[in-house]
Amino acid sequence: MNISVNWIDGMLMVGKSDSGHAITMDGPPEIGGANLGVRPMEMMLLGMAGCTMIDVVSTLEKMRENLVQCETKVSAERSDEHPKVFTNIHIHFIVKGEALNSKKVEKAITLSAEKYCSASIMLSKTASITHDFEIID
């Protein structure tokens, strides 16, 4: 996997992926940014949330659950001292479908957290990561 990030101006950057997609990143005004893009540390959480969602959705589909919607809401805390690593991360899954089995949803989340989600497993080296979920019929 190869990516590139090009500095534009101030703290504005454009990242490009191997797959041909681009993302704008920027810093907050207090460090010279113009708030024109997502923060790099937010990108890490977005990547982790996307990674775990892919796992959960694909696992529930393999379990033949009738999933129609999935959302994650992530809250995180960072250290006050440099390096300001994530120390606590909580992922709340909201899954919607017909007669979803809560034990299967829980198992899919656990498999992602403990076995499949590379991003979560990497971040768990510095952060306590917790999960919960709600099911909407």
> What's the one-letter identity of residue 63?
M
Instruction: Give the count of domains, the chain.
Output: 2
Q: Is 81 exposed, middle or buried (CB count within 10 Å of its CB: 0-12, 13-18, 19+)?
A: exposed
Name the strands in the sheet holding 128-136, side by side, starting at the edge strand that comes first in the sequence: 66-78, 86-98, 128-136
DSSP 72-93: EEEEEEE-SSSS--EEEEEEEE
Structural domain that includes position 30: 1-38
CATH of the domain at 26: 2.20.25
Residue 130 shares a structural domain with residue 79: yes
pTM equals: 0.92
Whats the size of the chain, residue-wise?
137
Residue 50 shares a structural domain with residue 74: yes
Residue 84 shares a structural domain with residue 100: yes
Residue 103 shares a structural domain with residue 128: yes
Q: Are 87 and 126 in contact (CB under 8 A)?
A: yes
Task: Per residue of the chain (137 residues), give pLDDT as tens.
Answer: 999 999 999 999 999 999 999 999 999 999 999 999 999 999 999 999 999 999 999 999 999 999 999 999 999 999 999 999 999 999 999 999 999 999 999 999 999 999 999 999 999 999 999 999 999 98
